[in-house]
Structure 1
Amino acid sequence: MAAANLTPVTPGVFTRLIRLMPVVTLGLLTLPVVAGLAGIIAPALGWLPALGGESLSLAPWQALGQTPGLGKMISLSLTSGLISAALSLAIVLLFIAAFMETAVFRLVRGLLSPLLAVPHSAAAIGVAFLLAPSGLASRLLSPWASGWAQPPDYLFPGDPFGLALISGLVLKETPFLLLMCLAALPQCQASQRLKVARSMGYSPASAFTKAVLPGLYPLIRLPVYAVIAFASANVDVAIILGPSTPPTLPVAVMRWQTDPDLSLRFLASAGALLQLGVTAAALIIWWLIEQLLASLLTCWRINGKRHQAEQLSRWLGGSLIAALIFLLSAALIGLAMWSVATWWPFPAAWPSPVSLGTWQQATTTLGEPFRHTLSIGFAATALAMVLVIGCLEAETLRTRALSSSAITIIYLPLLIPPVAFLYGLTQWQVQFGLSAGWLAVVLGHTLFVLPYVFLSLSESYRRLDPRWSQLGAALGAKPSRVFWQIKLPLMAAPIGVAAAVGFAVSVGQYLPTILLGAGRLATLTTDAVALSSGGDRRLTAVYALTQLTLPALGFALALGLPRLLRQRRSPRHKKHRPLSA
């Protein structure tokens, strides 16, 4: 055989770029988080020469320890994170156990995109307007059922136990965990496991719990941890629904960070490190509960009982998921009613007269936040999509998936409290004279958009039949052409959904916009959260609905564009050139 035939083929530019994508992606996710955490350690120990801190000291921690209500702040953050995650996971698992592979399951799966399209702050505002003493729920029950001629005297939102906060978190965490379970079910061969267990006489709920759940939970463990970290360190939902005297710890830290009194920066750094510890404690507690349940349920899994609490699980799974969908729908209806209200005294169930005056008034102030939200969302989503698709394409070149450590790094911005590392990044911005503005906010949003895009797209991309690419290569197409003309058209629908999810995540970002934009870059989310603490419900409803409209349009485009592209690529519209051309 000639020596020339043994010469290895030099990879092209496309292949080299694709192979760089995982390195670039992991670096983009790791460096800001690590640098941000490093940026708060020195100020937490009193060292920040720009503000007069020229020696190490425990004074910030002493001041933090003397903060009124600190213990309550910590307990609120810890309990809201654990309880909301537990409730959300229980609702999802009960529903899947009772209705997997049924028409109801397919119906709820179809409603998943609209549920995911609702930003956290818009959902929180809707819940506040629905369940407040003068909210829509009280109006519909008054006075004929409740006897209330005046709004009842109960505290919601802002109750001292954080029940309103937990309800708002559950409302948005449940659709996310359901999405993660739907992506993980094929990986653990759930249908095959369920069929085998059902053939042995197990009821649907018992078959899922004993045969499917042990393989499913390890695949969704990281998303569950991300939910716990998000809930324990959330700011925007806590501002809207959480108590204010005292607030949760992340809200207090954010207020210290943005206070005009610069001396509070030391206190904020100590508080950010404390919040990191609170989130870590919540994750450790959850892990211990996992180990305890695994030990206690081992014997139960193999006890041979085939029908256990079947009706109860079916009733709970169906009623809880129905209540969640109903609550979110009613909250959005309440927002729509408030946005057109001119005069709505209690206990009237309908505003009278109805007017578009608030919408007309808002058009003079909505323009700039709308443009910022749109441009930042597009830019962050586009950057995240390029990086994620590059990483997944690199997997196909190496014929193996990303390692577990790489997957953990992708989750890193979701597992570390944003209030901790984002504030550290603002410290570096000041130290190096970097401008706070649009580009910094886009990069900050990308940190949170990218993990969700990866979670939404990875399973579909990995399940793409490799024979399509092999067929293109056999016909002489280069890897770049196989990618652009075969893989991307076949993946148009999953890519569109992943982009819609990423855009919805960007639209809902509050803390990165406030901190990395130095408060000078207004978006629909920042304005909606600011208005939620004011007295004008009508204007707040307009901003919340406008904020909701953008992700909804994104999901509509994600569902409609792939069909249009398929029609345009059909033989009736276009003659294809041969791949070898």
Structure 2
Amino acid sequence: MKTKTKGWGDPLVFAPVIMIVALLGPLIAGLAGVLLPAFGFFPSLGGDQFTFSYLQDVTHKPGFWQSVRLSIWIGVATTFLSLVIVVSSFASQWGRNSFRRITRFISPLMSVPHAAAAFGFAFLIAPSGWLMRLLSPWATGFSHPPDWLIINDPAGNALLIGLVLKEIPFLFLVGLSASSQINVDERLKVARSLGYGRVWSWFTVVFPALYKQMRLPVYAVIAFSSSVVDVALILGPNFPPMLPVQLLHWMNDPALEMRFVAAAGAVWQLGATLVALLIWRIGEALIAYIGRRAAINGQRHRNDRWFRVTATTAMSAVVVIFVLSLIVLTIWSIAGFWRFPNALPSSFTLSRWANNASALWVPIVNAISIAMTSTLISLVLTIACLENEYRHNIQFTPNAMRILYLPLIVPQIAFLFGVSVFLVRYGLDGSFWPVALAHTIFVLPYVFLSMAASFRSFDLRYLQVATSLGASQNKALLFVRLPMLMKPILLASALGVAISIAQYLPTLLIGAGRVPTITTEAVALAAGGDRRLIGIYAMVQTLLPAIGFVGATLLPRFLFPNRKFFR
């Protein structure tokens, strides 16, 4: 029998409350810090009366409505294309060797930061990029780069494709996790026994249940894509830019009056994301209706070879483009003289790495320190909450799980600006701990979600044996459960480090530019155009989380080589 600690004597009882406060506190304070200036109330800058004028004035800024439309379009289109490719891949390849091979390729791509992936994609498809070099002059006839606006195009096509490439690995892994909870194989057996085709079986009996498990992560993708800043700075249009990029410009404007305008714009950004979510919600209802009608018409759709070939080709293309982007990043980081249209540089050198080693040191140390601090805080809170579930039989309700996703669904720029206002008011901005705690807001949900399944499925008989031998619950946790869960804990830690290192906007706004990390420095180089230097910073940004994942995978095998459980 499971022993429970009764009453308030166990400090773990307060862990869920601390977690909710850690997530909701900055969110509520940040939204308040945005809403008040948006309506004219900002006493520090002379705003002591509520007014709607700033919310109206911001709509008259040049290109404002085009920026709003672009944000909504990018959010919805990115999520739709990513989800279609992922689900189609699942439907056409589930259980096959090709699916396992793609899974091995997709998983490491999750650790690549958005900014690094965007730089690699830009170096690949630019008019002077690697693809054009590989095809020139023998296929294109170009001896000089063509005057084509591929990167930073007004329609945002490069931004859309770049985001799709990065969100597919995330949704793929979310789908894998969700599929383990709905007995996919049993559902498919029933549908196939009734004569349904392989793909139609998936969309009829698996996808509805799978999507229920994926809905909140999908909403998180919509929110992120509609309000992304770092990728938009690298790949997005410049005139006018996406709304969050324009907001960042207003926030950094020397004229203090623009703080009111920026706050009003942040409210509009929140509205744009809500509109994107509403459009998606309407689309859900429409597709559900069409799916029900299609499911009852009796069609079996056995001839689905064309669909399976298309889906496999699309997913394979995503993997190939992603890998080529990382390769061209590596090449540029060590390239010597590289004349267009040569496919490779005339020489390779590490001199740029050596020359920039001293400049890299501080951003790397800051990035690692912040990542380890935010991940450690997230791990402690996660383990405390999950252990509290076991001891007191109190699990997170669906509403509590929604709270866990709130920091991922609310646009960062819509509340981080408000948080920075409060920090500036009390002189707490621009230092290590506020930045680390800001990162924790975004790291904590991922760490919790990645650890919850392993923690909850742990065989409780090990704990029963430990307690029967006289060990307390705390000793059983420290010396039995946690060591046996070392692998999922290390993987959750590696994921937390990867999420933290990729954070651009929290570092920039909360750090006030005085806590540089490898990500903020890399994005700052985007306007410079020095591909070799960008390649170096982007490669470092990619290697840091990759080292974490490799260490998380190999460390249990190294420490416990003869124990199958730890492998």
Q: TM-score, normalised by structure 1?
A: 0.94
Q: Is contact 2:93–2:99 with CA below 8 Å preserved after alignment? A: yes
What's the counterpart of residue 558 of structure 2? 564
> Is 1:253 aligned to residue 242 of structure 2?
no
Identify which of 534, 538, 541 aligns with 2:532.
538
Flag structure 2 segments of 5+ consecutive residues without an equivalent.
none
1:81 paired with 2:75, answer: yes
Alignment correspondent of 2:259: 265
Task: Give the whole-Å Cα distance in 2 for the aligned partners of 1:521 and 1:152.
Answer: 39
1:576 aligns with none
Q: Deviations over 1:138-185 (max 9, x none)?
A: 000000011111111211210111111111111111111111111111
Counterpart-to-counterpart distance in 2, 1:19 and 1:311 = 54
Check whether the contact 2:116–2:538 (CA below 8 A) recurs between aligned residues: yes
Q: 1:373 to 1:150 in 2, by over 3 A?
A: same
State the secondary structure of the residue aligned to 1:111: helix
Q: Which of 164, 177, 188 is residue 183 of structure 1 equivalent to?
A: 177
| Aligned residues of 1:19 and 1:394 also touching (Cα < 8 A) | yes
For residue 200 of structure 1, report the CA deviation from its aligned partner: 2.9
The answer to whether the 8 Å contact 2:188/2:202 transfers is: yes
CA distance in 1, matches of 2:562, 2:267: 54
Question: How many angstroms apart in 1 are the aligned matches of 2:347 and 2:217?
Answer: 46
Q: Which residue of 2 aligns with 1:376?
A: 370
Number of the residue aligned with 1:110: 104
Q: Deviations over 1:481-502 (max 9, x none)?
A: 2212222222222222111111
CA contact (8 A) 2:372 2:497 kept: yes
2:392 is aligned with 1:392: no
Give the CA deviation at 1:564.
2.1
Aligned partner of 1:223 in structure 2 is: 217
Aligned counterparts of 1:282 and 1:61: Cα–Cα separation in 2: 20
In 2, Cα distance between equivalents of 1:265 and 1:257: 6
Shift, 1:431, TM fit: 2.2
Contact 1:180 1:455 in 2 (8 A): no
Secondary structure, counterpart of 2:560 in structure 1: helix
Q: Deviations over 1:44-79 (max 9, x none)?
A: 111212112222223322320220001110011000
Counterpart of 1:449 (choices 443, 446, 466) is: 443
1:126 lines up with 2:125 in the alignment = no
| Structure 2 equivalent of residue 500 of structure 1 | 494
Residue 17 of structure 2 corresponds to residue 23 of structure 1: yes
2:521 to 521, 527, 532: 527
Deviation at 1:275, TM superposition (A): 0.2
Residues 1:568 and 1:25: Cα distance change in structure 2 (over 3 Å): farther
Residue 469 of structure 1 pairs with residue 469 of structure 2: no
Aligned residues of 2:192 and 2:201 also touching (Cα < 8 A): yes
Give matches, 1:134-149, under 5 Å: 134-149=128-143
| Alignment match, 1:514 | 508
Q: Does the 8 Å contact 2:386/2:452 carry over to 1?
A: yes
Structure 2 match to 1:212: 206
What amino acid is the match of 1:193? R
Return closer, same or farther for 1:570/1:70 CA change in 2, 3 Å cut-off: closer
Write out per-residue CA displacement over residues 210-256 of structure 1, whole angstroms, 9 at most, x where no aligned residue: 11111111111000000000000100000000001000000111111
**Deviation (angstroms), 1:11:** 4.9
Q: Aligned pair 1:412/2:403, yes or no? A: no
| TM-score between the two structures when normalised by the length of structure 2 | 0.96
How far off its partner does 1:474 sit?
3.2
Describe the superposition over 1:371-416 as per-residue Cα deviations: whole angstroms up to 9, x where unpaired: 0011011111111111112222222223353101100000010010
Q: 2:21, 2:303 → 1: CA distance?
A: 48
- Percent sequence identity over aligned pairs: 45
1:296 is matched with 290
C-alpha distance in 2 between matches for 1:108 and 1:379: 33
| Structure-2 residue corresponding to 1:276 | 270
Deviation at 1:430, TM superposition (A): 2.0
- Determine which of 58, 61, 68 is the counterpart of 1:64: 58
The 8 Å contact of residues 223 and 411 in structure 2, kept in 1 or not, is answered as yes
The C-alpha deviation readout for 1:435-492, integer Å capped at 9, x for no partner, is 4311011011111111111222222222223333233333333211221222222222
- Structure 2 distance, partners of 1:312, 1:489, is 48
What amino acid maps onto 2:396 in structure 1?
Answer: L
Q: Does 1:236 align with 2:240?
A: no
SS in 2 for 1:522: coil
Query: Against the structure 1 CA distance between its residues 10 and 192, is the aligned structure 2 distance closer, same or farther, given a 3 Å change threshold?
Result: closer
Instruction: In structure 1, give the amino acid aligned to 2:69.
Output: S
1:321, CA displacement in angstroms? 1.2
Aligned to 2:148: 154
CA RMSD of aligned residues (A): 1.8
Is the alpha carbon distance of 1:10 and 1:292 closer, same or farther for their aligned partners in structure 2, counting shifts above 3 Å?
Answer: closer
Corresponding residue SS for 2:356 = helix
The answer as to whether partners of 1:183 and 1:459 remain within 8 angstroms in 2 is: no
Contact residue 113 and residue 555 of structure 1 kept, 8 A = no
Question: What SS does the corresponding residue of 2:10 show, helix, strand or coil?
Answer: helix
In the alignment, residue 136 of structure 2 is paired with which amino acid? Answer: S
User: Is the alpha carbon distance of 1:422 and 1:312 closer, same or farther for their aligned partners in structure 2, counting shifts above 3 Å?
Assistant: same
1:50 matched to 2:44? The reply is yes
- Cα pair 2:4 2:391 within 8 Å, conserved: no
Aligned length: 563
State the Cα distance separating 1:570 from its structure 2 match: 9.0
| Other-structure match for 1:433 | 427
- In structure 1, what residue type is equivalent to 2:452? S
| 1:532-578 deviation line (CA, Å, top 9, x unaligned) | 1212110010000011010000000110112123238799xxxxxxx
In 1, the alpha carbon distance for the partners of 2:468 and 2:184 equals: 35
